[in-house]
Chain A
Amino acid sequence: MSAEPFLEVRDLKKYYDDGGLLGSDPVKAVDGVSFDIREGETLGLVGESGCGKTTLGRTILNLEKATEGEVVADETDVTSISGRELREWQSQAQMVFQDPEASLNERMTVGEIIREPLDAHDWPDLAVSVGDDREVSGKLVHRAEAGERPDVTVGIDDSVTVRENAPLSTDDVEVEANEVEVSVEVTKHASEMREDRVRDLLEQVGLQEEHFYRYPHQFSGGQSQRVGIARALALEPRFLVLDEPVSALDVSVQARIINLLEDLQEELGLTFLFIAHDLSVVRHIADRVAVMYLGEVMELGPTEEVFTDPSHPYTESLLSAIPGSLVETGERITLRGTPPSPRDPPTGCRFSTRCPAKIRPDEYSVSGEHWEALDQLHSVLRARANAEKSIVDVVKERLGVQDVSTVDELLLELFDAEEEADGDITLHMPDDAASVVYEAVEMARAGDEDGAATRLDEAFGSVCTEEHPDANDVGEGRESRCLRHREEYEDPGPVIEQRYRS
């Protein structure tokens, strides 16, 4: 594996805008992602659903228009190309989808499905290399450009050689050459070459020739995924985005598809972007792994290092959630709740609302449990502020009639507090902290949940909720987006160890 980047992703962004009347905030599906994918490697991309993995894969392929940023392959920014250039890029970079059955047209035979990209791209367009600077003419051929792999080579003595694995043999090529021009006539019909190609592909992905005329419904999940892979390989791409290619499969079938992908990669020198939420699969197949959260890459590094010694608290929590991992790691760090909405991501660090290693302000001496309760109170208030309100709720709010009781209940539930006889609630925490909570609760009672959340932020926020962390170099080609990598703070690992495992 060479370390040459095949693809450079630079500050890539993809926003979806509702374009609603009110000009609401866009959904920031991918928000400033930068990494390289090296020639011949498998880069794993993991994260929870909704973190932007699939959108990132699709944007790299230019199936989605990038909002900002660049994806550079062969010195071309593929996010801004169109027409011929785009078609050229899309024949080099293909996608395999998650649900094999849904991604195959059930009215077409398997042969037709695999052949479709060949028809759509007017395949083949044979690259002819001539030893000197003579022009090349003829149907189905073009002059090989610098760096392009030639399918047909015409020597200075006008001898013809055809690349191994090309869809034709030397007998199918007739060459007439003069001083200035080489005229190449391909006698084999294009449709014949396409049929041959499809049969080769079937064999390559481990299907039989008789499958050519069958329909997708006659196939099992594993076989359907093989068809999807064959279709992606039809145009001899160099790069595949594999979007959860084995998630829908049983483990024994999954193992066979993974082996197939690894074989194909070795045989054809492919580069993979492997998207998955199953961390064990990624650990097996990926050389390097990128961990995504709310549109950002939180950690990036060589797979084994990231899995055995994660730098970012999110990676640590994600790994600790793998079923069966408990047996090795002991205590599990269970993340509360779900990721916040990508329409309204937290200010500061994206992960700060769920982070087990969040930096806490020094001025309050609050117990660990109460810090968690405060975080939870904050997220409930935020959720309430952002919730769609029914007409009844809106009217109640206008009239100043609020469900007072639910705020109190929340306090009792979260803080294990006591209700006095006169209805007051006493929190068992230092007065300075408690008074802030009372203040916020008062605002929430008055219907200003947004303000209440902001009040909590002001008091209990820290650098994590204020500053957006950059990707830090943490050595050995690894980077991690966490403020705790700064010198003045303790590293995330020991903090988690102390808070949750001691």
Chain B
Amino acid sequence: MSDTLLSVENLRTVFHTDKETIRAVDGVSFDVQRGETVGLVGESGSGKSVTARSVLGLVEEPGVIEEGSIQFRGDELVGGNWDEHRGDIAIVFQDPMNSLNPVYTVGNQIKEALRIHQDLRGQEATDAAIELLEDVGIPDAARRVSEYPHQFSGGMRQRAVIAIALACDPDLLVCDEPTTALDVTIQAQILELLDDLQREENLGVLFITHDMGVIEETTDRVNVMYAGEFVESAPVDELFDNPRHPYTRGLLASIPGRTAGDERLPTIEGEVPTSTSGPTSCRFAPRCPHAFDDCEQVHPERIDVGDGTVDHEAACLLYDDRFEESAPEEKFADDGGERA
């Protein structure tokens, strides 16, 4: 029984600059079901945030969605239908101070959203705003509602931002690194809150972060993004227990502190490239420890790499039977990248 909220098909978002056209998001597809949390993980510059902004129709000049489809409950959004679904999709950004207006009280900002999306005004709106602040765990909400953002601590500001997002009564919540600017104790509070809200409201959540630990804890399904493409997608446990793509393996291995000891951290050399033309090779090949000649010639398609019981896809020639080199397990055996 699935209830698909969001369905993204072959999305390509590009930025036209004087010199070249940058393909920030290059052919990604994914679904978000009601009550499900889908994770998007990758390094800076991999295209995570542009994907989020594309979904909300917030891509600004010189960026443009060049190809693909984004459907919300079956309605096509690309082409300008966002206004109809304005209140159905809400976003929480990384830095709460940038998301709040410093010259209005927190209550006013929640009430603004309530007025626009739920047509509540006056005392009714104030009561609803207080209730929302209580829902997001701000103590003494009745008093706090008339305070300004600078009177809130970092964690409380992010709670206020979440309250504003909830004021639209959304079905889908997009979280773009919502806890990156916060301390680990506050991060734990916010993640717990998002988890509770999701369960209560049966929200679909698209969760973007670069932190593998946060991904492991919050999401049901994970997409690993690299240079505008999804290189691997799997249910969260499967991805962590059985990472297939060399990039995913590299990312997991380079997290410090997961294993005790003094040994050197395995690293991925080089930087995320900027894609300016259509894919003709594997974009990770220049940094890949297992690349072979064909990787420079052929763009890998996403293929099923699961054991038949799980939905696990990776875009890597190592798993493609057409190529002689494909015998990944042997290669990985001697690189010691296996997670302890």
Contacts and interface: CB of A to CB of B under 8 A. Distances in A.
Interface in B35-53: 43-44
A384 interface: yes
A414 B211 CA distance: 34
B43 A252 contact: yes
In which size bucket is the chain A interface?
35 or more
Contacts of A323: 184, 187-188, 191, 211, 213-214, 216-217
A292 to B, nearest CB: 12
18 contacts: A48-B186, A251-B43, A251-B251, A251-B254, A256-B267, A262-B264, A277-B183, A280-B257, A285-B256, A324-B214, A324-B217, A327-B216, A327-B217, A337-B139, A376-B139, A380-B139, A380-B140, A413-B139
Give 8 nearest A-B pairs by CB, closest first: A280-B257, A324-B213, A323-B213, A284-B256, A283-B257, A255-B254, A321-B188, A255-B265
B310 interface: no
A191 interface: no
A91 to B, nearest CB: 29
Interface string B163-191: 00000000000000000000111111101
Contacts of B68: none
Contacts of B134: 413
A170 interface: no
A249 to B, nearest CB: 9
A48 B185 CA distance: 8
A379 interface: yes
Interface stretch (A13-21, A24-32, A208-216, A402-410): A402-410
B210 interface: yes
B186 A338 contact: yes
B19 interface: no
Contact of A281 (B185, B257, B267, B271): B257
A39 to B, nearest CB: 18
Nearest to A246: B256
B153 interface: yes
B143 A259 contact: no
Max count, chain B CB within 10 A of own CB: residue among A252, A256, A281? A252
A321 B187 contact: yes
A376 B43 CA distance: 39
B153 A338 contact: yes
B184 A254 contact: no
Nearest to A51: B183
A388 interface: yes
A387 interface: yes
Given A48-B186, A259-B265, A283-B260, 6 more contacts: A252-B250, A252-B254, A281-B256, A284-B256, A323-B214, A326-B217
Contacts of B3: none
Dominant SS at the A interface? helix
A254 B257 contact: no
Interface in A240-264: 250-256, 258-259, 262
Contacts of B142: 403, 405-406, 409-410
B258 interface: yes
Contacts of A332: 188, 192
In which size bucket is the chain B interface?
35 or more
B266 interface: yes
A48 B210 CA distance: 20
Interface in B64-118: none
Max count, chain A CB within 10 A of own CB: residue among B156, B189, B217, B265? B265
Contacts of A307: 260
A282 interface: yes
B258 A251 contact: no
A255 B214 contact: no
B256 A254 contact: yes
A140 interface: no
A235 B232 CA distance: 46
A250 B267 contact: no
B21 interface: no
Contacts of A414: 139
Contacts of A282: 257
Nearest to B44: A250
B212 interface: yes
Contacts of B156: 338
Interface in B214-234: 214, 216-217
B184 A321 contact: yes
Contacts of A118: none
Given A251-B43, A252-B268, A322 B256 contact: no
A335 B186 CA distance: 8
A388 B151 contact: yes
B183 A48 contact: yes
Nearest to B147: A387
A403 B141 CA distance: 13
Max count, chain B CB within 10 A of own CB: residue among A259, A285, A327, A338? A338
B155 interface: yes
Contacts of A338: 153-156, 186
